[in-house]
Structure 1
Amino acid sequence: MAFREFSEDEFQHVRCAVEDVRRIKRRAQSIMEGVKAVLESAYPKENWGVDLQLGNDGFVDISSPYGKARARLLLSIDDDGPRGRYLIEKSIINRLDQSEWRPVWAIRLDKAGIYAGDESTRPLDFSGFHSEEQYGELALSILYAIARGPVE
């Protein structure tokens, strides 16, 4: 693999790395707190059966009727600048009868918004009356991804 020299424009994406990462982590924490609040309300708790335990530094333990999962916050940059990605992974037993984590879904965060999945081009609207609906959509998406399991 050949490595190239980076441009001044590319350096601009990391000049404020500490604040950029802090901002993404705050948004990510807020998202999972909103999802957790929805899951702890009466109907989802009784019918969906998903429990989120928020950990440090973007880690989330998830239990569901379809098995254990976790969410890990991954930080990086792309051509548009800093970004975060909550990678949702399900615990499975592989062919060697060993436990391993396999990706099942993701939530993207960048300066333009928060996206349900990697391929979504429509940012979620967390303003006003829409916020609980959007957190509910994320909660159901996480549950569905865990239930569906890894796509192979």
Structure 2
Amino acid sequence: MSYQSITEEQWATVSCAAEEALELKKYAVRLSAKLKEYFDDEHSRARLGVKFEVLGDDTTWRIESVFGVARAHLRIFANEAGLYAKYLIERQNKCPADQPVWQSVWAIHITLQGVAHPGHDSAEPINLRASSNHTDDAMVGLGLSLLYALGQE
């Protein structure tokens, strides 16, 4: 593996890494709470059969569905535009030796502007700073997208 030298413009994007990471985590906590609220709704629980747990750090998820067990971890990354967060969603499968293995099935990106991008940047963005019906509607789409991703072969 070759390693590139880091330019001044690149290292400038991490000059406020601690406070920006904290801001990203706040958005992730808000996203976690909204998804939990959606999946815990009586109607959603009956129709979708999803058990969505937010674990101790408020950014890690454990998900049980008809498609099995899944998990999601938040990671902070840097690129030329600055810091961003990424939820990596993994489904538990079995290897040929019948041992559990985790397979990446989907991702959610969160920007410093408080916008979540489900799957990839061209998906409908979700404003995590807003508290509106549009955000609630977006959580329905996000929850269903997450469930669909877990069901992919």
Length-normalised TM-score, structure 1 = 0.90
1:125 Cα shift? 4.1
Q: Which residue of 1 aligns with 2:81?
A: 80
- 2:122 aligned partner: 120
Q: Which moved more, 1:101-110 or 1:4-13?
A: 4-13
5 Å-filtered alignment, 1:46-61, equals: 46-57=46-57, 58-61=59-62
Aligned length: 149
Q: Which residue of 2 aligns with 1:108?
A: 109
**Shift in alpha-carbon separation, 1:18–1:65, aligned structure 2, 3 A:** same
* Alignment-derived partner of residue 8 in structure 1: 8
How much does 1:27 deviate? 0.4
Secondary structure of the structure 2 residue equivalent to 1:56: coil
Question: How far off its partner does 1:69 sit?
Answer: 0.3
* 1:143 lines up with 2:139 in the alignment: no
Name the structure 2 match of 1:26.
26
Alignment identity in percent?
A: 28
Would the alpha carbon gap of residues 59 and 136 (structure 1) be closer, same or farther in structure 2, given more than 3 Å must change? same
Shift of residue 105 of structure 1?
0.7
Q: Which amino acid aligns with 1:88?
A: I
Question: What is the root-mean-square deviation in Å for CA atoms of aligned residues?
Answer: 1.6
Unaligned residue ranges in structure 1 (runs of 5+): none
Greater shift, 41-50 or 108-117, is seen at 108-117
Residue 72 of structure 2 is matched in structure 1 by 71
1:13 to partner: Cα distance: 1.2
Give, in whole Å, the separation in 1 of the partners of 2:122 and 2:102.
Answer: 24
For 1:97 and 1:25, the matched residues in 2 are separated by 35
Q: Structure 2: which 5+ residue stretches go unaligned?
A: none
Cα deviation for residue 66 of structure 1 reads 1.2
Q: 1:18 deviation in Å?
A: 0.7
Which amino acid is the alignment partner of residue 116 of structure 1? P
